[in-house]
Structure 1
């Protein structure tokens, strides 16, 4: 398999077992395709957040694995403003047939409003789907005993990317703990470098990268049980454990000389532009925390293992964790061609095919895929680690994506932006808590 010793060593340090993804060449656990008969002339509309090369890859897979064999015409459309645009379409009575949500909380919200259609009512065998994806991921779209979201991809979030040439020239060691990370950052400043490139700009979704930092810290500092309670609002946003996580994060944000542009500039730096800062012999910064997909946005020609490397987000108080994210496909119109699209798009062949596209970092949640699906060595190893963590129960999904959308993709994002711009974090966390829906 396509591994490098550097990445394997780094990810092994995160205590995730790097075992090969299960499966083989058969489709064990996959529901059969071709059950809906001739679909010639039918159309399926699919709407989601991935754009650019990832959107092109999705359409290429749809064309080869669904359109050509069935005679149907399915088209994927991506938008950088997906969260707001999909709601506008739903409110206007013109939803897509299928929406691919980055926030499972939004899937549950659509189910609660009566807009989404359950997998059970469409005739899907939930036990088979649980074998294909695991019950944890499938449960993320569950509402009142039925399932409304089917996993289409995941990514591994607990990663810090770094400039290899400077690390090697200065003899910097990979930090194992958060205190080590702070000490390393202080040493970098003393040596004349800026440690961190952080950007949270993301059009209508500005602020979400800061929530990822908070989630990684809560998972490690407060533990998985508190993390799960936070997701369900049993642990409120103004709980001391969440406030303490923000204070820990602020050791980076407010560290003297730690962040390119300073704390207040972070919301104005597009997250897609931020990783470029760590590339080069005289980089603007030396480290960048972001999920495995960020390789899509590294400058052309930058090489993993030469120009940049990666290490796992360090432990806090001896605790590790694996923060993941991903997307769930949700159906708004139950027709034969829509059901067939779901079957085809989530089976092993189509899922594996997405890993063969250059610059695409989508990781399949289908456990019948293997690391050999991925041409990119970084993505291949991240895929192994992600699926291993899911099997071992050490993974937790992005908290903000699990929360009700008015919180997870609303007040939480906004609070992070206001905090960066000088707001009081305790007051802002109380405002987020007050925005949590009463039912």
Structure 2
């Protein structure tokens, strides 16, 4: 399915250095492409990925095995990474590496003294190949613990070109235009949006894009740190803006009730499945992977995106998420774990998954030609060129009890808001109460 790309001489040197191999003037790399110094060892890696994402990450693990000889064992944690990893540590069965999907969880792990700081080699690669914002999100107390291997561009709205053609509309430039476009799509006989309300995290992403554009990055940063309360007027304003969309049953496939029973893959299916039920779905670049892998859509032709539009005079937002690799102190194979993160910091490791699809890398040294299609290249370029104007998913920066747990905190409160968006101020008060408790804890 995937062919290995011949490395450049510079890339070979970087990879050999990262893995402790000798090459490029210091002696040839072995026929297998690495030193095999970890032969006979098994590296345990935990992460949230399952399905197609797990399959593609396995290709990265296999590339590490080819370089070092280390066998790998992947364990999917599901959404509750903190709980699963904590129980494994307590049970004396800690993984060596965890792919952490939330800044708040990374901070929690560091404060519990579960993590080992990144090696000097990895830190040097982060300094050279990543925008400073990624180092900031991977650091706690001035120490760098997390290497962001996989990123998500969460400011993309995906649409069916056929639905837009039928409605006689083009991709909008502003949020207000998007609502008018949605009305035109709805008037043409197809609900405008599939909303994945069953998954609370998608609703936090909706809020964050509106809030970042409307309130600006300074307020966004302060709210993410809970330096201003969720009852702030900017929050109520953003909820009011979002509520206008959520309240219009004609614009949402199945209305609020239908949205609340639709999970993320289901929302993509409603737009790009065999029997379309909506014209658009908002979520990150990973929508393309589902549309392509599960429903056979040609990305760029049958499935396209436009940037999440600017809201009421603000700038177009660039919200990102990501999975950071961390090394656990209680893991049994510290040296292999360290070498694995040094490998993940190279553009060669990122290229393995980039060619497979459904992946973006924050590593600016990754050749954009590594991505399999023009749409992925476009989203990757947008993420890289945004630099430090990127803002990390706000809910992922919060304590897990507020921003990252099913049936609790922000996820649950925004689901209730989708069900009844008539009182934004009351929703803001509930959010503040939950946030105050979680941040205090």
Contact map agreement 1:272 1:297 (CA 8 A) in 2: yes
Alpha-carbon displacement from aligned partner over 1:352-404 (angstroms, at most 9, x marks no partner): 121111xx3111222211111111322122111111112xx321111111122
Alpha-carbon displacement from aligned partner over 1:40-62 (angstroms, at most 9, x marks no partner): 21111001112112211211222
How has the CA–CA distance of structure 1 residues 125 and 165 changed in structure 2, closer, same or farther, with 3 Å as cutoff? closer
The equivalent residue for 1:400 is 395
The equivalent residue for 2:201 is 208
The equivalent residue for 2:137 is 140
Counterpart of 2:372 in 1: which secondary structure?
Answer: coil
| Structure 1, unpaired ranges of 5+ | 1-22
How has the CA–CA distance of structure 1 residues 262 and 342 changed in structure 2, closer, same or farther, with 3 Å as cutoff? same
- The structural deviation recorded for 1:30 is 7.1
RMSD after superposition:
2.4
How has the CA–CA distance of structure 1 residues 430 and 268 changed in structure 2, closer, same or farther, with 3 Å as cutoff? same
CA distance in 2, matches of 1:373, 1:335: 30
Write the mapping of 1:214-229 to structure 2, written as runs, cut at 5 A.
Answer: 214-229=207-222
The equivalent residue for 1:20 is none
How has the CA–CA distance of structure 1 residues 82 and 41 changed in structure 2, closer, same or farther, with 3 Å as cutoff? farther
Write the mapping of 1:7-156 to structure 2, written as runs, cut at 5 A.
Answer: 26-27=10-11, 32-35=17-20, 38-64=37-63, 66-83=64-81, 84-119=83-118, 122-124=119-121, 126-156=123-153
How has the CA–CA distance of structure 1 residues 236 and 59 changed in structure 2, closer, same or farther, with 3 Å as cutoff? same
Alpha-carbon displacement from aligned partner over 1:214-263 (angstroms, at most 9, x marks no partner): 00011100001101111111122221111211111111111141111212
CA distance in 1, matches of 2:55, 2:158: 26
CA distance in 1, matches of 2:282, 2:310: 14
| Structure 2, unpaired ranges of 5+ | 1-6, 22-34
The equivalent residue for 1:5 is none
The equivalent residue for 2:193 is 196
- The structural deviation recorded for 1:125 is 5.8
The equivalent residue for 1:324 is 320
The equivalent residue for 2:272 is 279
Alpha-carbon displacement from aligned partner over 1:131-176 (angstroms, at most 9, x marks no partner): 1222210111211111111111112111111121121133112211
- The structural deviation recorded for 1:88 is 3.1
The equivalent residue for 1:433 is 435
How has the CA–CA distance of structure 1 residues 246 and 61 changed in structure 2, closer, same or farther, with 3 Å as cutoff? same
Write the mapping of 1:283-302 to structure 2, written as runs, cut at 5 A.
Answer: 283-298=276-291, 299-302=294-297
Contact map agreement 1:30 1:128 (CA 8 A) in 2: no
The equivalent residue for 1:12 is none
Normalised to the residue count of structure 2, the TM-score between the two structures is: 0.86
Contact map agreement 2:271 2:277 (CA 8 A) in 1: yes
Normalised to the residue count of structure 1, the TM-score between the two structures is: 0.86
The equivalent residue for 1:8 is none
Q: Does 1:418 align with 2:416?
A: yes
CA distance in 1, matches of 2:269, 2:321: 23
Q: 1:243 aligns with which of 236, 240, 247?
A: 236
Q: 1:270 aligns with which of 255, 263, 288?
A: 263
CA distance in 2, matches of 1:281, 1:349: 36
CA distance in 2, matches of 1:116, 1:296: 32
Contact map agreement 2:176 2:312 (CA 8 A) in 1: no
- The structural deviation recorded for 1:336 is 1.3
How has the CA–CA distance of structure 1 residues 82 and 68 changed in structure 2, closer, same or farther, with 3 Å as cutoff? farther
CA distance in 2, matches of 1:90, 1:281: 44
CA distance in 1, matches of 2:338, 2:131: 20
The equivalent residue for 2:29 is none
Contact map agreement 2:38 2:336 (CA 8 A) in 1: yes
How has the CA–CA distance of structure 1 residues 125 and 58 changed in structure 2, closer, same or farther, with 3 Å as cutoff? closer
CA distance in 2, matches of 1:115, 1:214: 32
Deviation larger for 54-63 or 426-435: 426-435
How has the CA–CA distance of structure 1 residues 233 and 117 changed in structure 2, closer, same or farther, with 3 Å as cutoff? same
Higher relative contact order (CA 8 A, sep 6+): 1
- The structural deviation recorded for 1:79 is 4.1
CA distance in 1, matches of 2:208, 2:9: 36
